[in-house]
Structure 1
Amino acid sequence: MAISVKNYTNRFVSIAILIVMAVWAALFYAVIMDEVYDNIDDGLKNQKILIIREAYNNPKLIEESKEFGINQFVIKEVENLQEKVDQNTFSKEFIYMPYDEEEEPYRILRTGFYDPSGKPYQLEIRTSTVEEDDFLLNLAISLLVLYVVIVLSILVINHYILGRAWQPFKQILKNLSKYRFGKANSFVSVESPVLEFNDLNNHISQMIDQNEKVFDSQKRFLENAAHELQTPLAVSINKLELLLENSSLNEEDTVGIVEAKRSLQRMVSLNKSLLTLSRINNQQYAGYESVTINEVIANLLNDYEDLIIYKDIRLDLQQDGNFEVYANPDLMQILFSNLISNAIKYNLPAGELRVRIQSDAAIISNTSQEKALNPEYIFERFYKGSQDHNSNGLGLSIVQTILEKYPFLHIKYSYQNNMQVFEIKKV
């Protein structure tokens, strides 16, 4: 699942900080404990020197220090010392503490010395040290609090600082989503203090300018080509019709001429559709007025009445309200003419054509030999289903192009009860 770049960054920053702090905590704990024990050992060694000096100056101290007292050291007489007298041995032991009623960690120094008479003694000094488990727990709690504070601080900073920094980028995406071919002004440049966003904005503007030039060139080519084809197509069809009137033609020649005429008529239909698309894209249908769709559909059904009767199609017209829009009447005529002509053309013999008109929608349904169409492709140019190979594949594309001029109108296709259903609805 895709997430925003801010949340994506926060997630990895949080994980990275957690790992770094964990490694840092382990090293910090090792360094601190080493420093603590080093300081304690230095204190014990210093205390050893003081005790030995006092034992030389005051021999009674040896007799008075047979057991641990408040000075936390003990001097014991030994037969001999196996190691050097000044050798220090450190250890950590747990000793019961009456106050806490539990064993606490102590650092113990064991060493030896000789009194003035040369008699060996063992000196043992102890001192309370750090409770490592408590220290480790407190360190973990402190680092956890620090981690939470850092992460929350980063989230707050990212929310305000990065949110503000990324605002131009979001605006660029928003403006880019509104861009449509043939409408260069639909993309508005966004100024930003961020160099990368300015570069992105400039590159998008350059790309749009190039696309517009190509698009304008294609429009001019289509319009000019369509205009230039009109006259030779009309002349060719007229000449073929004159040939068909020649009674001396045999059946084979007549069939060939009829097929040629049919192909030219397909070219005329394609040429007319391309001209319509070109005129729509060139904003030649610019007028707006209140249009009652009920009247548009009624007039179209009247025009197609002979074809409906010829195909024995059962017409079911139901008007539950007046569907009115503010648009160009010619475009509304073209839009519903394409939908109704398709519903008749691709209908079954003795099929059914249903037209439902509501106050905010017009629904055109028809029976057909073909099952559900692919809604992802039916509005693309030159897309053809399997119903009629003679189709130029531009009818529904013209419908979609017209609706792009009116954002308040939306077309929805569905296949219900073995019928192709097209709904034009206000949104």
Structure 2
Amino acid sequence: MNKLLNKSMRAFVLYAGIVLACSIPAYYAIIDFIWAHELKEHNRIVSATTRQNLQALSLTDKELSETVALWNKLQPETQLQPVAALRPDSTYNIYRKNKYIPAKGWDRFQGLVTYFTINGKVFRLTQEVNMEESHETIIAIAGVAFLFFLILLGGLIFINKRTSEKLWRPFYSSLQKIQAFDLHRQYAIEFEKTGIEEFETLNHHLEKLIAGNIAVYKQQKEFTQNASHELQTPLSIVRFKLDLLHQSKPITDEQSALIDEAHQSLSKVTRINKNLLLLAKIENSQFSGKEAINLSALLEKHISLLDDFLEDKQLQVIKHIAPDVVLSGNKTLTEILLTNLIMNAVRHSQPKDTVTITLKTHLLEISNTGAMPLEEKMLFRRFGTSSPNTTGTGLGLAIVRQICQLHGWQESYRFENGFHLFSIAWA
């Protein structure tokens, strides 16, 4: 991803480059116009000086002819020739190969043709001057412009970087605090005073937003805790009353079936209540103790405890457990995590399906067969996958995520080659 400052700088550089490209022909046109104008003035001055000097000599016709001939030999770039009549002055541009330095190639000349009289005779004076070559002018202008462009660009980048670091420091400070903010820790963020109206407004609204979220989060947690605690006693009473009702005589088979169904629903509600209490305890950091856990031995123990359940469902369990894998964590929560992951795979498997359990040095992976991928966004949310038709509470994977967040582990899910794969990774 690109930074905002880099995007604006690229726009400035692109604009400056376009202006530079357009400025070179403009510079050339202006300089060429000024140069051509100056050369015209130069030719007019030389022509006027030549005319005045010749007219001031008061030469005879013979001396005039000799002087003209000598002039044409000494000044080959000019031609002084007798003509029949006076005409208006004219200018021209011509490219001519350099006869003195052939290697130089073609030169550009600007000429002035003027007419005047000496001793009653009309003469035509052709005055030419060599102009600077166009390509040489363009190269020179482009080189100088590009040099100053680099100097200007370097200065802009340096100044922009220095000023931007100072101007945007409050923004990055606020951004760093927001990134480090954790709703579970329930502390408010205090932003620094910047003295800049835009940043002060942003920080004020961020403080209000965070404070509101913390308040709502606390209310939800308190509601969950209070509701779960208050439900324990009524649930126990209902269970006791159902047991008494089931033991009472006489009772019909239909009544017994209804009581069993009520027991099943009550058991599910009881498990949900216990899981909500467990989530509340995890969020309140009531499981703070950590120890070195031999995950290999703990995993083997949990699998052996579920042997009878696995056999009843006719599931094939494939184990790839590396020996003596040790990690640091709360043992009670780690046992809950293993139980939830294994039971999730077992509960959603059909008879004679395969469950694969793989443990590596930094990875635990439990997979079970499946027909199609699950909606990953809903998997680790509370009641994200619960259904009235299943015995699950919809909180097992939410508890797994909460335990992983507490320990700094990373949970993930993917569907690959007809298998649902749930992974836990740690450093």
TM-score of the superposed pair, with normalisation by structure 2 = 0.82
8 Å CA contact retained: 2:387, 2:394: no
What corresponds to 1:108 in structure 2?
Answer: 111
Q: 1:315 to 1:48 in 2, by over 3 A?
A: closer
What corresponds to 1:22 in structure 2?
Answer: 21
What corresponds to 1:68 in structure 2?
Answer: 72
What corresponds to 2:410 in structure 1?
Answer: 410
Which of these residues, 228, 231, 235, is aligned with residue 229 of structure 1?
231
- The Cα shift of 1:416 comes to 5.9
Instruction: After superposition, give the CA deviation of every residue in 1:119-163 in whole Å (9 maximum; x if it has no partner).
Output: 433332222222222212222233334444444554555566646
Distance 1:148 1:161 in 2: 20
Distance 1:43 1:266 in 2: 107
What corresponds to 2:394 in structure 1?
Answer: 393
- The Cα shift of 1:57 comes to 1.2
What corresponds to 1:46 in structure 2?
Answer: 45
8 Å CA contact retained: 1:323, 1:362: no
What corresponds to 1:81 in structure 2?
Answer: 86
Q: 1:52 to 1:263 in 2, by over 3 A?
A: same
Which of these residues, 269, 272, 279, is aligned with residue 277 of structure 1?
279
Correspondences of 1:2-401 after superposition (within 5 Å): 2-60=1-59, 63=65, 64-65=67-68, 68-71=72-75, 72-83=77-88, 88-101=89-102, 102-115=105-118, 117=120, 119-155=121-157, 162=164, 169-170=171-172, 172-185=174-187, 189=191, 200-301=202-303, 303-314=305-316, 319-365=321-367, 367-368=368-369, 370-384=371-385, 389-401=390-402
2:8 is aligned with what amino acid? T
Q: Which moved more, 1:189-198 or 1:22-31?
A: 189-198
Q: 1:125 to 1:277 in 2, by over 3 A?
A: same
Percent of counterpart pairs with the same letter?
22
Distance 2:95 2:64 in 1: 26
1:333 is aligned with what amino acid? E
- The Cα shift of 1:261 comes to 3.6
1:287 is aligned with what amino acid? G
Distance 2:399 2:40 in 1: 92
Distance 1:278 1:370 in 2: 34
Q: 1:416 to 1:121 in 2, by over 3 A?
A: closer
8 Å CA contact retained: 1:62, 1:75: no
Q: 1:310 to 1:52 in 2, by over 3 A?
A: same
Q: Secondary structure at the match of 2:72?
A: coil
Distance 1:103 1:416 in 2: 75
2:81 is aligned with what amino acid? K
Instruction: After superposition, give the CA deviation of every residue in 1:366-407 in whole Å (9 maximum; x if it has no partner).
Output: x44554434444222222188954433221111011101112
8 Å CA contact retained: 1:182, 1:216: no
- The Cα shift of 1:106 comes to 1.7
What corresponds to 1:424 in structure 2?
Answer: 424
8 Å CA contact retained: 2:370, 2:419: no
Instruction: After superposition, give the CA deviation of every residue in 1:245-296 in whole Å (9 maximum; x if it has no partner).
Output: 3454545554444434433332222222222212211222222233333454
- The Cα shift of 1:50 comes to 1.8
Q: Secondary structure at the match of 2:328?
A: strand
Root-mean-square deviation (Å): 3.5
- The Cα shift of 1:11 comes to 2.7
Query: Per residue, is there more helix in 1 or in 2?
Result: 2
8 Å CA contact retained: 2:290, 2:329: yes
Q: Which moved more, 1:397-406 or 1:373-382?
A: 373-382
Q: Which moved more, 1:124-133 or 1:177-186?
A: 177-186
Distance 2:135 2:310 in 1: 93
- The Cα shift of 1:19 comes to 0.8
Instruction: After superposition, give the CA deviation of every residue in 1:24-65 in whole Å (9 maximum; x if it has no partner).
Output: 222221111111112122222222322222232124385323
Q: Secondary structure at the match of 1:285?
A: coil
- The Cα shift of 1:234 comes to 2.7
Q: Secondary structure at the match of 2:287?
A: coil
Instruction: After superposition, give the CA deviation of every residue in 1:78-137 in whole Å (9 maximum; x if it has no partner).
Output: 322354xxxx322212344333224322221122223464x4333322222222222122
Q: 1:296 to 1:14 in 2, by over 3 A?
A: same
TM-score of the superposed pair, with normalisation by structure 1 = 0.82
Q: Which moved more, 1:305-314 or 1:266-275?
A: 305-314
Q: Secondary structure at the match of 1:330?
A: helix
Q: Secondary structure at the match of 2:106?
A: strand
8 Å CA contact retained: 1:222, 1:275: yes
Distance 1:143 1:211 in 2: 57
- The Cα shift of 1:221 comes to 1.5
Distance 1:32 1:196 in 2: 48
